[in-house]
Structure 1
Amino acid sequence: MSARCYAPLLLAALAVCHSARAEPYLPASGAQVLERLPARLDPVQRELARLRADLAASPADLARATALAQRYIEQARRDGDPRYLGYAQAALAPWWNQPRTAAPAEVLVLRATLAQSTHDFGAALADLDEVLRRDGANAQAWLTRATILLVTGDYPAARASCARLLGRAPDLVLQTCLASVGSVSGQARASYRNLQRILAARPDAAVPLRAWAATLLGEMAERLGEHGAAEAHFRTAMQADPEDSYLQAAYADFLLERGRAPEVARLLAARTANDALLLRHALALQATRSPQAAQQRAVLRARFEAARRRGDTVHRREEARFALELAGDPREAVRLAKLNWAVQKEPADLRILAKAAAASGDADAARLVRDWLRRSRIEDRLLDAVPGARAA
């Protein structure tokens, strides 16, 4: 799960990076039964059923295929259910394995979005670069590229990609993209104030964009130590998009840091099918000494073990946190945190690396933390409480 991958698919949906934290499940055939749904479908499932029927009538129709794939990606972000990512790939099957130079641009952008969900950042960037070689004005490609570069810690390149959105995307998208980079590269206060001003001036912006910006503002305010403002931003985002799984996890983390575990237990009680949310629910139950805590720890451990058997490695941040905070195994936690850090470099990745380094006494991990703090100039009050994180 990742805020930095919480960036909009401008045309129809919202992009996924780690909000769905498992390898996408790809059906063996179109006839395979994936899930039996209630007779009366909710509006989302009715819409997906209609889009599936449209595509089934014309399986080679690119517009219908991309529309369905986009909606599946959006649903994966909202529910944190990785199966939807596999369904999105299946919708694009006629073009999925086409060479980069031959595949339609729409497919390449969606293929890049799905590749980033499994941490295949190199393939995702290659697809996006091909799109931009053909059409340098493709705003979605620039935004997705900026998101990946931000996640991997290449801030100058991420900022340059954000800048290419000028005149090609709504101003709120441009400014949220730039703020997301500035907030972790030594410009936190200025980035926060600018995004706050831009969001206030765009009350008519699309709800997903406003929720995205408000979530980022909440995270930025928390890192700056402005806890009251952070909570207000998170609540604004929750009002706009209460079902978003990334947002729920971010707000849950904020509440856990403030010692408000009972609120987290209530917030996430019905959302534990999502591994990232189950982790936070288990942490809340442990903090409240609930008799259900042991059961939730066992369920989470089993899910991580199943993921490892599948060769799924995108859970490492959450698994490191599980090892440190629930299993009491700092050596395993720091091992996983270092593996995770080699792939992605977000504030949450830095925090678990710093905490695991302090708990385990791993000097190499502590050096990685200090080096990144010097290099990035990130401002994060949450790191100040971690022993040795900012030592010279």
Structure 2
Amino acid sequence: MFDVPKGYRFAAVEAGFKYRNRCDLSLVVSDCPAHAAGVFTTNAFQAAPVVVSQKTLAGSPVARAILVNAGQANACTGEEGEKRCLATRTMVGTPLGIDPTEILVASTGVIGDQLPMDRFERGAKALVDNVGHSSALDMAKAIMTTDTFPKLVTATVSLEGGTVRLLGMCKGAGMICPNMATMLGFIVCDARVDPLWWQQTLRTAVDESFNAVTVDGDTSTNDCVLALANGQSHVEAVSRSDKRLLAAGLIDLCRELAFRIVQDAEGGTKVLRIRVSGAKSKPQAETVARVVGHSPLVKTALYGQDPNWGRIVAAVGRSGATFDPNQVSVAIGDTTIFSKGRPVEGDWDSILAPVLKRDEIVVSISLGTGRGSYELLASDLTEEYIRINADYRT
């Protein structure tokens, strides 16, 4: 049973954009105006819903609802795509008595096709009738594309004035690489917050979570994380302590959702937790982690349960980070297999066999140069990933 924040209602219906016999159009509505925040893709080809939601938040950090469709990305669709996106807000907002400009929008699916407005109009009517009759889990299922399971997390945070609740959901399994990833994330909270602080805190949470994962090195046109805080708990985050606690709760929630994205990576069988330490700076540590995490050779080796430290070291060496090769060490699990620029003798196929069979594998890289560190979650690379993406449009 999920502890849903106060003052939110959900809807999810089948509109038939791409999928059959499943919901693909969904909505979360706040019973009152909520402070809204958003973080969006840095891809130059920003989808129409990204453009619309950015403009909406730039005009006012207040929203009443988030409208999401799966199966049609409405990306690279020009002015017509933006026009259709705006029309969908009216289709939903007018019958609900909500100003369409207070509806944030998000889409995910195939790039390049215009939204089929006849299906959207029929779906919007059903969606309005469904408000309050679906659950948060129903919406989490409706936003899925190639995901194999819905990703939904809740949390409670005790503040000085009482308890507040957070609920987050996301979708994403492939085309995942910051900034940000082919992912949509939606968070609702019932705390009273300062809108500027809420936006800044969401940005920090995204950097600490969704921007620290990779599946395949591809960044999408539609990525966004949208967050509402409606104050319906009547508990306000005012003091430094309260703000620190709520920020920590939001970061933990986003980290759990980000982990589930990598856990559900297209064709993936393992989560790779790549930890880099001893770098000259955090950005240099991040650079190393990303090169290792993106490397097809590293990813396929770990999928094949091959302790091929040479691929890891080679990736570190081409990362562009500054370090002394004679100070570099690499460990898989708790076992060091490369130390101070030299391999450690051992029957690593046998010793590491139990470690490499695990669903989660830690790869630790020490550069021995400074105090900079970074952790990246990555997936392995399998034949199934190729099959999924070779057949994605068909």
* TM bucket normalised to smaller: under 0.3
The structure with the greater share of residues assigned to strand is: 2
TM-score, normalising length: structure 2: 0.25
Larger-gyration structure (1/2)? 2
